[in-house]
Amino acid sequence: MNKILNTNNIDEIINYINTDSIKKPIIIVGMMGVGKSALGKILAKNLNRSFYDLDENIENKYNMKIYEIFKDYGEQKFRDIEHQEIKNINKGCSAIIATGGGAFTYERNINILNELGITLWLNSRPEIIIERLKKNINNRPLLKNVDLESYINNLIIKRNPLYAKANISVMSNNISKNKMTNQLLLAIKTYLMDNKNG
């Protein structure tokens, strides 16, 4: 699993994935700051598929930032909007989809997403998540007035058992985005091969 993948290996992996699961979306779940959108875009480019970010879709549809929906209407309203967006994902689409950090922490969403496509939990160590969020704190106003380390550690304890219900789990480390994408591709292919007869 840790061997260096050359271009031929990657081409073969990409062909296998697209032949085996062209009618299934690949849905990336996990904590904020793990790189769901950044890696999702590269994954989509590699697999020649469309990419969309669930949170961005909601922001564009309502012409509001996620934190503004939280602030003005409350978390429950946002979670209902998010659930509706998940229900609206087309069956049989082949997109790469990045979800918000909380989307895969509700059973009603977990069930839909696991049935709809291949769910991939992008996991990461708390210190990596915290470091990335500190660099990007201006884009996350809801985090500005909290003790970030305690908040993230508590959230991880609460959410990881739910993220673990995804089909695939991959650790996101501080390596290049291209190397991480190769790891995702290999994990997806391995999952497909393991489940070919079941």
Model confidence pLDDT, tens digit, residues 87-106? 999 888 899 999 999 999 99
Q: Which of 50, 57, 54, 139 is nearest to 98 (CA)?
A: 54
Worst-scoring range by mean pLDDT, 77-86, 155-164, 186-195?
Answer: 186-195
* pTM score of the predicted model: 0.91
Q: How far apart are CA 112 and CA 104, in angstroms?
A: 10
Q: How far apart are CA 163 and CA 119, in angstroms?
A: 9
Q: Is the pLDDT of residue 64 over 80?
A: yes
Q: How far apart are CA 93 and CA 198, in angstroms?
A: 21
State mean pLDDT over 73-80. Answer: 94
Q: Which of 32, 30, 28 is nearest to 135 (CA)?
A: 32
Q: Is the pLDDT of residue 3 over 60?
A: no
- The number of angstroms, rounded, from the C-alpha of 30 to the middle of its chain's C-alpha atoms is 5
CB neighbour class for 128 (10 Å; exposed up to 12, middle 13-18, buried from 19)? middle
pLDDT greater at residue 86 or residue 144: 86
Q: What is the pLDDT of residue 197?
A: 58
Taking the domains of the chain in order of start, what are their residue ranges?
7-190
Could you tell me the sign of the dihedral formed by the alpha carbons of 151, 157, 166, 75, in that order?
negative
Cβ–Cβ under 8 Å, residues 166 and 119: yes
Q: Is 31 helix (H, G, I), strand (E, B) or coil?
A: coil
Model confidence pLDDT, tens digit, residues 130-167? 998 888 777 776 787 889 999 999 999 999 999 999 99
7-190: CATH topology is: Rossmann fold (3.40.50)
Q: How far apart are CA 57 and CA 176, in angstroms?
A: 27
